[in-house]
Amino acid sequence: MNNNKKKTTLTPSQTRVVEYPYRPATTLKVIAGPGSGKTLTLLHKVRHLILSGQVRPDEILILSLTNKAVDTITCNLLSTFEEGNLYESIDNQLKLDELKEIVEQIGIYTIHGLANRVVIENEGIVTIIEENGWRGLLKLLPSDFWQRNRRSLNNNINGLTRQLQKILQEYKGRNDQKLDIGKNGQVIEKLVQIMNSGKVFTNDDLILKATQHLESPITLELDKTTMNVEGKEDEEGDASFTEKLLSKYKVVLIDEYQDLYPSLLPIIEKISKGKQLLMFGDTNQSIYGFLGDNEIVMKSLDNLHEKEKSETLHLYDNFRCTPEIISSANKIISNANHLHNTHSTAKDLILKPLSNYEPQVHEIDDPIDELETIVDQIIQHVCSGAKFSDIAILSRTNNHIQSIADHLTSYGIPFEKLTIQPDWINDIRIQFILDLMKMIMLSSRERLESINDGQHTHKWQSDFNVIVTLSSIKGIGNQSLQTLYSDCNREGISLWKYISEIPKSKWNPKISNKKKIEQYTTLLKPWIESEKIWQMDNPGEILKIIIDIVYQLDYDPLKFKTNQEMKKFRNNLEEMFKIMKLSKFNQPQDQCFVEWFLETCFEQSIIFHRAKLETETNPESLGSIKLSTIHSSKGLEFPIVILSNGPFGLSYPIDDKSLYVGMTRARTLLNIINTKHPNLSKPIKSKVALLSSSSPLETSPLLANKQFWEYYNNDLRRDISNLPSFDTNMARYKMLQTKFGINNGRSFSTLCSKTISLTKRFL
């Protein structure tokens, strides 16, 4: 522990929240604006509840909607306990191992992660449908489906999958089950049956299914100690996780309550009823309206307990943004005047000192100039003493983020995308590998059970994964897949059994490319019919077998068009292998390794990610720029934010709350490009990147602003004794211009992979 660490002093408003007493069946709502110390207050609240003896660590459950928010809480909980421990009397101080044991007992989950664990415990291997799954279901639709459905036919695969998701959601939401659903309804009913049989869920399905299991929890026959998902021993092994979720916890904390939407309500109400419910959030940052009305959720949660047992407290302070940034952001939201009045009248209000640097607003018409300006700003900041890891580039759409990523790649500037799920899981090639593993596992299990029991009890769970993997192979068309599935249903056997046991000569003539289907069965049959898959526990050996099968199938996405695409897949495959090795380390006894990995790979990935974060905090590293949509950046903060809405002529205004969220991610420096908002300051109009001007002091006074960079480094608690002068900064920048042709219109292909090494040499 660091005995030189400065003690965190809570503000009066934070202290009121932290010391609010524990009482069962009560609700406390904490309204906390951006940078108000919400997470810090939540962490200290947890510590106070435990150390004051009001509740035990294993009686506290913390929930959030995103992995990033859960990461932040998990990574900072131990340090909060460590810091507080330093200021306890010698007799009351705990050892580090004791502090770790306390923190590890606290339940910290995303809502979907918790639901996933409940469902897997009750049902075994399940599938959360991803891109490959939707594509497989699309192939089962008859050719006239879209015309009958009276939907505009969008040949773009992403557009079609979105329409199919919406149709399925509408179908499942019907109130009158006797409604005449027509021919298209029959098609959708068949898709729903496939998904149900295969235990295939959308995220909303997962929440509903978990809630059903919480309504009638099973009692598992377990030993006195059982293994949890992280491979640690749980006490009270005679109770299932589902039962513990209902009976063990006394306090439920929900982070970022404004992000909740109606389909999450059933599970939250079920878990929170009768407990102390603590909710932290800010309605001004409610930007997920497309998922449903947050006001409906809040009204229900406000009424969860008796009104006299509910209270609201506020955190008004701002420790994140400079006053200049928060002032600009407050002008955006519709209740800005109310907010200013509240802030001005709040007692003991704490704000950061002025930086004397206003957010910079730009208008840039040309798409290339817009991207060049972003690069130009990055280089200016780095030449002035910032790190790449200080900078985040935010935009409204994933497409624009991808165009920025491609542009940064051309300059060799390192970056990482912030996504909801780990990159390796988002890769459709990895999804195909996982689907193939599930198909082998499930088909093998179905075969063994039919041999041992003489009957099948799983309703052909393998069918969905056979459909998904077959449909991904080039040349196996929609009609072939529809005919195969129809024929296997008529025979009353699984799709795998049909294609592997019914002679090809007896297949329907409508089925084309029979040789490719036969190759598929030939490659997979040995692993399904032997018991090797149940016995293998070497991650490298298992992955090699699956990859060999994939390469022998005619799977188009593995025909790489660029080295960059191949490198990305290789990196994701390496990540998957590491997760498999971690799963092996955490594997319980007497459980098949492949089954354990498929059940827990997402949770294992989170464990791996958190361990990785702890090992990558090298203060000497320049790090990498963060790229994110505004929605994915929720709950995060960055020293420097470049908020771009795309080329001026092609972009349209960002809605107020999204713009407010994007602006308030910035801690010290904010650059805004093409947002078209009337309440922002007058924009700088640019045709080319900023420092192409012959007068750099006029176009970029920041390079010469030593006072600001002293403020910046002080704010980040960095050394300010050797800050470079303007001449040094400018010399660095011009050297980059000359070396790599920044702003000179040179081909991007001449710029690759060199900027970062040169910048490192500067710094």
Pick out the residues of the known binding site.
32-39
Give the whole-angstrom CA distance, residue 756 versus residue 622. 9
**Phi, psi of 675, rounded to the nearest 5 degrees:** -100, -15
Rg of the chain over CA atoms, in angstroms?
Answer: 28
- Whose CA is closest to 229, among 537, 586, 609, 595? 586
SS3 244: helix
SS3 561: coil
Token output for 109: 């989950």
Token output for 729: 């900064």
Residues 368-379, buried b or exposed e (16+ Cβ, 10 A)? ebbbbbbbbbbb
Residue with tokens 């050719």: 143
**422 conformational bin, left if phi > 0, alpha if psi -120 to 50, beta if neither:** beta
- Whose CA is closest to 578, among 615, 609, 620? 609
DSSP letter for 559, please.
S
Annotated binding residues for ATP, written as ranges, equal 32-39
3-state secondary structure 310-344: EEEEEECCECCCCHHHHHHHHCCCCCHHHHHHHHH
Residue with tokens 């077959």: 470
Q: What is the dihedral of CA 417, 418, 419, 422, to 10 degrees?
A: 80
Q: Are 605 and 561 in contact (CB under 8 A)?
A: no
Residues 611-643, buried b or exposed e (16+ Cβ, 10 A)? eeeeeeeeeeebbbbbbbbbbbbbbbbbbbbbb
Give the whole-angstrom CA distance, residue 413 versus residue 623. 10
3-state secondary structure 360-391: EEEEECCHHHHHHHHHHHHHHHHHCCCCHHHE
Residues 403-440, buried b or exposed e (16+ Cβ, 10 A)? bbbebbbbbbbebebbbeebebbebebbbbbbbbbbbb
- Tell me how far the alpha carbon of residue 443 is from its chain's centroid: 31
Query: Which amino acid makes up residue 668?
Result: T
